[in-house]
Amino acid sequence: MAFRREKFIPRGGPSGGDGGKGGDVWMESSERHNTLVHFRFNPEYEAQRGRHGEGSKKTGRDGEGIVLKVPVGTILYDNDTGEVVHDFASPDDRMVICRGGRGGRGNAQFATSTHQAPREHEEGRPGEERHFRLELKLLADVGLVGFPNVGKSTLISRISAARPKIADYPFTTLEPNLGVVAVGEAREEISFVVADIPGLIEGAHTGSGLGTQFLRHIERTRLLVHLVDVSDGSSRADVMKDVEVILGELSSFGAELEKKPMIMVASKIDVANPDKLKKLKQWSTRKKLKLYPISAVTGEGIEKLKFAMAEEVEKLRK
């Protein structure tokens, strides 16, 4: 609230300016980010407040907004209601997630021909305050699934430039690895992203092993590649039980994972048990699934599998 007080201007009148608007909080998907770890250490964000209005009918400056960057594949939930606010499925997708408050009106706004010295003025409105939950689901074309130690990490290291940790103990892979696979000649090259998901075990859909943390990552894949260890050295004797357990976990998790197109892969065929391989072939034929025997160590069958994956991905993209 202000009044003009200038020499030679009698009855100067009201001159209180309006307050500035508070800044908005934006969220934008970015290909430069691949984790949400920056929100863990700094979980609260605030846009700038609007400046006060001043005398001489000066409007206060608007507050500056801020842009929070999230990786592509982030889902934004309202933490209080649990509803999905937005799915950042493509790069440079941007939206306002919290609006700034409106600036109040100064007393100059209330002047009329009959009310020439108003002392009324208006408070600014507070900006929104909201609590969100962020969940990141990887965006990959192909997801590798199977028990721990069936050769998923070795396969992704053979077909792409990804270099995951590889060792002979269960749960060597503790976080999903992404690799880009390119197939074909330069002009007609097909490239797709493969996700190496940590091994699943019985009860994964209820959280056993590393289950539910990573089953959600394959919700977005177009194609599943199911690796089955048919080697003699495998600690699990019944190859068909392994297959049924993984399929059971996929269907129990929900999200219709069991309906996704699938390619079966018999891994470690350089040391294969003929009986296991035969059973897997018969089962795949019965289920009308293509089976590709491979050895990531010798390289046998790798090229054939790469082309099959590329062909299937192209079909699904169309």
Q: Spell out the domain ranges in the chain.
A: 25-136, 142-317
Given a contact cutoff of 8 angstroms between Cβ atoms, the answer to whether 118 and 46 are in contact is no
Q: What is the mean pLDDT of residues 170-181?
A: 61
- pLDDT value for 25: 93
- Fold held by 142-317: Rossmann fold (3.40.50)
Give whole-number Cα distances, 308 to 153, 165, 292, in Å: 19, 26, 9
In the predicted structure, residue 103 carries a pLDDT above the cut 60: yes
Query: CA-CA distance, 200 to 207, in Å (whole number)?
Result: 10
Select the more confidently predicted residue: 218 or 112. Answer: 112
Given a contact cutoff of 8 angstroms between Cβ atoms, the answer to whether 26 and 93 are in contact is no
Among 185, 14, 207, which residue's Cα sits nearest to residue 107?
A: 14
pTM over 0.85: no
- pLDDT value for 164: 54
- pLDDT value for 167: 53
> Does domain 25-136 match CATH 2.70.210.12?
yes
Confidence of residue 151 (pLDDT cuts 50, 70, 90): confident
Confidence of residue 176 (pLDDT cuts 50, 70, 90): low
Confidence of residue 24 (pLDDT cuts 50, 70, 90): very high
Confidence of residue 185 (pLDDT cuts 50, 70, 90): low
Same-fold call for 25-136 versus 142-317: no
